[in-house]
């Protein structure tokens, strides 16, 4: 893959700007893909219990959590797998009530999938220190529906079939780790340019932590950035084309 342009375009809204009008499902899915932590609500034998969790999502945007069996929320899930997750995208807004937030309702179940675990650890590198412990399990949330509040008066219930990406991305999923390795090892300069355009920062150390049909994720220490593709990509070759196109646009 050859990437020789300086900067990609970005299609996500910036903090402090009004959330643009558009497809509520796309806005909600954008929140799922950008946020790296969420508030998890479980039932503690009938009583509501909320906790802070690290999170990422699969390529279809289904939430993934790595939880300890010793944690209260894990005990609650064992008793009742029904959960909700609040994704808060209001940081940086002078009035948080004008910012976007999404509540996802579904059921959490433990999964034993090396690909999903690798995806979680790529987004949360510190989790590698404990992901192999016997008392930690990866959970996938089967989404029932979502409730999006995109600002005053912009409130939508979204069915799972609309909120999640239903296209077959198996080919991209199978090669995600290879794409990340290639980009991070051979095109680190391009990743730095992406981050500089996205954040206006020239810090070194930016890495690509994930790629999915709708975009790519970048991180440097505790800072993250999201690059959205102009249209969904489902194969490695389509992902390459999308990244090259971003590079071409940056030259103009």
Kindly indicate the confidence band of residue 81, based on its pLDDT and cuts at 50, 70 and 90. very high
- Do 130 and 196 lie in a common domain? no
CATH classification of the domain holding 176:
3.20.180.10
- Do 51 and 122 lie in a common domain? yes
Provide the b/e sequence for 10-28 (b: ≥16 CB within 10 Å): beeeeeeeebeeeebbebb
Structural domain boundaries enclosing 73: 24-163
Task: Please report how many Cα atoms fall inside a 13 Å half-sphere around the Cα of residue 90, on the Cβ side.
Answer: 18
- Do 59 and 115 lie in a common domain? yes
In a domain, 28, yes or no: yes
pLDDT in tens, 23-70: 999 999 999 999 999 999 999 999 999 999 999 999 999 999 999 999
Spatial separation of the C-alpha atoms in residues 171 and 179, rounded to whole Å: 12
DSSP single-letter state for residue 36: S
In a domain, 56, yes or no: yes
Given this model, what pLDDT does residue 100 score? 95
List strands edge to edge, sheet with 223-228.
207-212, 215-220, 223-228
CATH classification of the domain holding 35:
2.30.110.10
Kindly indicate the confidence band of residue 122, based on its pLDDT and cuts at 50, 70 and 90. very high
Given this model, what pLDDT does residue 245 score? 79
- Do 230 and 177 lie in a common domain? yes
Question: Total domain count for the chain?
Answer: 2
Neighbours of 142 (CB within 10 A): 14
Kindly indicate the confidence band of residue 19, based on its pLDDT and cuts at 50, 70 and 90. low
Spatial separation of the C-alpha atoms in residues 207 and 8, rounded to whole Å: 15
- Do 75 and 129 lie in a common domain? yes
208 strand-pairing partners: 218
Given this model, what pLDDT does residue 146 score? 98
Q: What are phi and psi of 112, to 5 degrees?
A: -115, 90
The residue that leads in pLDDT, 222 or 78, is 78
- Do 56 and 114 lie in a common domain? yes
Spatial separation of the C-alpha atoms in residues 236 and 241, rounded to whole Å: 9
- Do 154 and 179 lie in a common domain? no
Kindly indicate the confidence band of residue 193, based on its pLDDT and cuts at 50, 70 and 90. confident
Task: Please report how many Cα atoms fall inside a 13 Å half-sphere around the Cα of residue 212, on the Cβ side.
Answer: 27
In a domain, 14, yes or no: no
Query: What's the mean pLDDT in 101-124?
Result: 98
In a domain, 213, yes or no: yes
Q: How far is CA 123 from the centre of its chain?
A: 9
Q: Residue 136: name the closest of 77, 191, 66 by CA.
A: 66
Query: What's the mean pLDDT in 157-169?
Result: 97
- Do 113 and 130 lie in a common domain? yes
């Amino acid at each position: 893959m050859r990437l020789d342009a300086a900067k990609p375009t970005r299609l996500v809204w910036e903090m402090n700007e009004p959330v643009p009008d558009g497809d509520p499902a796309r806005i909600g899915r954008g929140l799922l893909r950008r946020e790296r932590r969420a508030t998890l609500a479980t039932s503690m034998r009938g009583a509501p219990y909320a906790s802070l969790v690290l999170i990422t999502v699969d390529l279809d945007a289904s939430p993934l959590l790595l939880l300890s069996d010793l944690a209260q929320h894990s005990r609650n899930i064992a008793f009742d797998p029904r959960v909700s997750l609040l994704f808060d995208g209001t940081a940086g807004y002078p009035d948080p009530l004008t910012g976007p937030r999404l509540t996802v309702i579904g059921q959490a179940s433990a999964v034993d999938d090396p690909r999903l675990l690798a995806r979680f650890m790529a987004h949360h590198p510190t989790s590698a220190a404990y992901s192999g412990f016997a008392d930690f399990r990866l959970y996938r949330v089967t989404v029932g529906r979502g409730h999006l509040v995109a600002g005053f008066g912009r409130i939508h219930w979204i069915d799972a079939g609309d909120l999640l990406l239903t296209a077959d991305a198996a080919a991209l999923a199978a090669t995600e780790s290879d794409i990340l390795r290639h980009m991070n090892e051979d095109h680190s300069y391009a990743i730095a340019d992406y981050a500089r355009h996205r954040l206006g920062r020239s810090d070194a150390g930016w890495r690509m932590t994930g790629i999915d049909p709708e975009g790519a994720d970048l991180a440097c220490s505790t800072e993250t950035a999201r690059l959205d593709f102009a249209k969904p990509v489902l194969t490695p070759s389509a992902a390459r084309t999308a990244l090259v196109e971003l590079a071409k646009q940056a030259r103009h």
